[in-house]
Structure 1
Amino acid sequence: MSEPVRRSRPARSTARHGRLRKSTAGRTIARFLSAALAVVLVSGSAIAAYAVWDIASSVAPSVTLANETAGSAPDIDAIEGGVNLLLVGSDSRQGQDAVFGDDAKDSATLNDVTMLLHISEDHTAATVVSFPRDMFVPIPSCPRENGGTYDAMAAQKINTTLSYGGLACTVLTVEKLTGLSIPFAAEVQFGGVIELSNAVGGVDVCVAEPINDWRTETYLDAGVHTLQGKEAIQFLRTRHGVGDGSDLGRISNQQVFLSSLVRTLKSSETLTDPGKLFGIAKAAASNMTLSTSLSNLNTMVSIAMALKNIPLDQVVFVQYPTEYGDINGYEGVLPLKTPAAQLFDALAADEPLTLSGDTGPGSVVDPNAPVDDAPADDTPQTEDPEAPKTDATPPGVVLDKAVQGQTAGDYTCSKGND
């Protein structure tokens, strides 16, 4: 592999993530009407008037992705067909609470979290793939915000893509890496995670051993904690406090949170609570930079509805398989191409996935996980030699052990690194 290209980073500007589409009266009215319809359906007339105004006025300018096509937003129903959506977590401090650092001093904009959501064509399965921030990947030529393009690079860490070409460049890089087309994308900063965790009323996480991380001010005793607000974002940021202190440990720790979040969102209490549904919509609209294709509230609601009926054991969280290594003296992690190809070929074919690896260095199986209360059948079983043989092999694709992760139906605990 060639030596990572060194070059100066582009000067910072107020808006730098792809091409910003200027707001027009027509777009504002369309968003207003979309918000009106969604809110009437989920919250009733009592709060609709205020909610419509509040959501429509808080939608941020959107980013146009390279492969987006113009079209009308879907009706408020589960979106038709499959979905590929990239969620990027930015470490930028600009406009964020001072507790996260000095926005002038901490001026780098890196995508420290990069996750791809894939929903199958028939809406029977969903997979979330986390890409380690220190993984060396080829970066394609990306558009500059002021015209022209950045040169392609043979090997750079994936978390630099947000600096080179904004959200659109991160999408292009993940498309090249996975072979999947990604028409939807969103970028969220620290404040957005705080607002989203508040909107769902907090997320219960299990901690197996104490977490003590002064860097992120994360101090949690062993046990179950309901996290929201600052506690939630600090838990998701902690690296030194969990597992082996690596970013790979942080990913599996984040999956503890995410699997619990899915269980919370799919609970009847959450799905039928108009206040929470409105709060989630408002948090998403006001605290994220969205691709143009995702900026209409109808689309966001439609994607969420596609997840509603997927069984928990078919909501799979995985980490892109890697191994530790370096490129010309630059330390990081290197992609394991064979197990990765198996994973993304399966996603492209919408094959159901079965995990064979462990949950990763930042988490362990919850010893107090709920169990099936059905009584065991103690009747002695005898094999009928005439009975047809059944195939005990799980359906779909059994992923290589190098692909670590868990399902939303797996109860896990964070593995503290005290």
Structure 2
Amino acid sequence: MPAESTPEPEIPGEPGKSGPRRGAKGRRRKARSTRSRALLITAWSAAGIVVLGGTGAGYLYFKLNGNIKSVDINQALGTDRPTKVDNGSENILVLGSDTRAGGNKKLGGGTDDGSARSDTAMIIHVYKGHKKASVVSIPRDTLVDRPSCTDTHGTTHDAASGVMFNSAYSTGGATCAVKTVESVTGIRMDHYVEVDFTGFQKLIDDLGGVSVTTTKSINDPDSHLNLKAGTHTLDGEQALGLVRTRHGVGDGSDLGRIQLQQAFIKALVDRIKHLGVLSNPKKLYDLADTATKTVTTDSDLGRVTDLASFANGLKGISSSHMNMVTMPVQYDSADANRVLVDKDKAALVWKALKSDQPIPKAATDGTATGSAKNVVSSG
């Protein structure tokens, strides 16, 4: 989409800190084996697929098209959705999934039963002009009211109250996840992108690693991560460990893990923007091949040409123009391992996104946070 001449909204700085969580002993999050992964896959595929479009190598297109898996969200959800806001902005739901089948069994543990979870969820709001974005992370441990939904196989799943957010995906797949997000936010998701963590690991390796700086040592045997304080170029396995860890640093909460994920995304975006792949056809193809094998999209992005056009529209967004926040939540007094939506403050976030405006700092001041902020930055 070409840039608009209308002035774009300014993105405020990072939201204010509310400090580490305080409270009596026993309120600390339990350390448990989870499988958070993969983020912002659409941007990763931009360079390789777009350039391949100009090579005339049609057989490569056929192969890449065959890699992409898609879900017809529009058909499954029908008309029972929020109205699309036609103001030049776009909203994309990005999920990281951890199917238990195939290569993911080795990385994630558990049984090869084909089941899956969505342990990472982000709403990416791309502002009019596609030069700035706000990213809202949704904690997987948030208790929500899940609406009734029909999955792509035609099976209807009953509504449920007070269930974990990530149960939407494990119950009814992509369509139920999208419907739950739209129910919570009142915002229509224009696109859906999902990536599994096997592909995430390979993609980081294909990129040649991502450089980050840690201000504290991180040691988490569960996620196989051991980093001293300092600058590191993370390979795929280490990057996966970083976005998975929840008790290697901070308070052991999912909120702290989100802070690490957000910092890693910014480092990843910086890496992509400075990656010199245009003169290396093999690297271009390897990246495009891995990205298209890794991604599941809504049907509107289910062809290489559509995905390329969409991703090309995102590549002008630098990390300095990405405002990353966590959906406003408060700790659940009845269960130390759950959080509840702070509805008044969350309403400020959804109102801002609907009107294509920056998220006000007041929306996140005083909300629950982890204690891993500023532990990781771009290397």
> Same fold, TM exceeding 0.5?
yes
Picking from 359, 362, 365, the partner of 1:401 is 365
* 1:193 corresponding residue in structure 2: 200
Relative to structure 1, the CA distance from residue 206 to residue 68 in structure 2 (aligned partners, 3 Å threshold; closer, same or farther) is farther
Matched, 1:332 2:294: no
Cα deviation code 1:65-93 (max 9, x no counterpart): 146899xxxxxxxxx93221111112222
Matched, 1:82 2:96: no
* 2:347 corresponding residue in structure 1: 341
Q: Which residue identity lines up with residue 376 of structure 2 in the other structure? A: S
2:375 is paired with a residue whose SS is strand
* 2:266 corresponding residue in structure 1: 259
Aligned-pair CA distance for 1:339: 1.7
Relative to structure 1, the CA distance from residue 311 to residue 194 in structure 2 (aligned partners, 3 Å threshold; closer, same or farther) is closer
State how far apart, in whole Å, the 1-side matches of 2:367 and 2:267 are.
20
State how far apart, in whole Å, the 2-side matches of 1:270 and 1:352 are.
33
Matched, 1:413 2:375: yes
Equivalent residues in 2 for 1:134-283 (5 A)? Answer: 134-267=141-274, 269=276, 274-283=281-290
Relative to structure 1, the CA distance from residue 271 to residue 347 in structure 2 (aligned partners, 3 Å threshold; closer, same or farther) is farther
Relative to structure 1, the CA distance from residue 59 to residue 123 in structure 2 (aligned partners, 3 Å threshold; closer, same or farther) is closer
State how far apart, in whole Å, the 1-side matches of 2:249 and 2:114 are.
26
Unaligned runs of 5+ in 2: 1-47, 79-86
State how far apart, in whole Å, the 2-side matches of 1:59 and 1:108 are.
20
State how far apart, in whole Å, the 2-side matches of 1:280 and 1:174 are.
30
Relative to structure 1, the CA distance from residue 186 to residue 310 in structure 2 (aligned partners, 3 Å threshold; closer, same or farther) is closer
Q: Which residue identity lines up with residue 151 of structure 1 in the other structure? A: D
State how far apart, in whole Å, the 1-side matches of 2:368 and 2:109 are.
35
Relative to structure 1, the CA distance from residue 154 to residue 98 in structure 2 (aligned partners, 3 Å threshold; closer, same or farther) is closer
Equivalent residues in 2 for 1:288-367 (5 A)? Answer: 288-326=295-333, 331-353=337-359, 356=361
Q: Which residue identity lines up with residue 173 of structure 1 in the other structure? A: T
Relative to structure 1, the CA distance from residue 57 to residue 108 in structure 2 (aligned partners, 3 Å threshold; closer, same or farther) is closer
- Compute the RMSD of aligned alpha carbons: 3.1
Relative to structure 1, the CA distance from residue 303 to residue 413 in structure 2 (aligned partners, 3 Å threshold; closer, same or farther) is farther
Cα deviation code 1:19-69 (max 9, x no counterpart): xxxxxxxxxxxxxxxxx9844446x46xx4663354133223x21114689
2:121 is paired with a residue whose SS is strand
Q: Which residue identity lines up with residue 56 of structure 1 in the other structure? A: N
State how far apart, in whole Å, the 2-side matches of 1:37 and 1:253 are.
29
State how far apart, in whole Å, the 2-side matches of 1:323 and 1:263 are.
32
State how far apart, in whole Å, the 1-side matches of 2:206 and 2:171 are.
32
State how far apart, in whole Å, the 2-side matches of 1:106 and 1:331 are.
26
Aligned-pair CA distance for 1:106: 7.2
Relative to structure 1, the CA distance from residue 306 to residue 223 in structure 2 (aligned partners, 3 Å threshold; closer, same or farther) is same
State how far apart, in whole Å, the 2-side matches of 1:264 and 1:230 are.
17
Contact 2:157-2:172 within 8 A present in 1 as well: yes
Contact 2:76-2:152 within 8 A present in 1 as well: no
State how far apart, in whole Å, the 2-side matches of 1:270 and 1:102 are.
34
Aligned-pair CA distance for 1:403: 6.4
1:269 is paired with a residue whose SS is coil
Give the length in aligned residue pairs: 320
* 1:55 corresponding residue in structure 2: 64
State how far apart, in whole Å, the 2-side matches of 1:200 and 1:305 are.
18
Relative to structure 1, the CA distance from residue 123 to residue 69 in structure 2 (aligned partners, 3 Å threshold; closer, same or farther) is farther
State how far apart, in whole Å, the 1-side matches of 2:323 and 2:237 are.
26
Q: Which residue identity lines up with residue 139 of structure 1 in the other structure? A: R
Contact 1:63-1:290 within 8 A present in 2 as well: yes
* 2:45 corresponding residue in structure 1: none
Q: Which of 1 and 2 has greater Rg?
A: 1
* 1:285 corresponding residue in structure 2: 292
State how far apart, in whole Å, the 2-side matches of 1:117 and 1:152 are.
26
State how far apart, in whole Å, the 1-side matches of 2:183 and 2:199 are.
28
Identity %: 35
State how far apart, in whole Å, the 1-side matches of 2:115 and 2:61 are.
35
Aligned-pair CA distance for 1:312: 3.7
Relative to structure 1, the CA distance from residue 105 to residue 186 in structure 2 (aligned partners, 3 Å threshold; closer, same or farther) is same
Relative to structure 1, the CA distance from residue 203 to residue 103 in structure 2 (aligned partners, 3 Å threshold; closer, same or farther) is same
Aligned-pair CA distance for 1:285: 1.4
1:176 is paired with a residue whose SS is helix
Larger RCO of the pair (alpha carbons < 8 Å, separation 6+):
2
Relative to structure 1, the CA distance from residue 247 to residue 181 in structure 2 (aligned partners, 3 Å threshold; closer, same or farther) is same
State how far apart, in whole Å, the 1-side matches of 2:73 and 2:139 are.
22
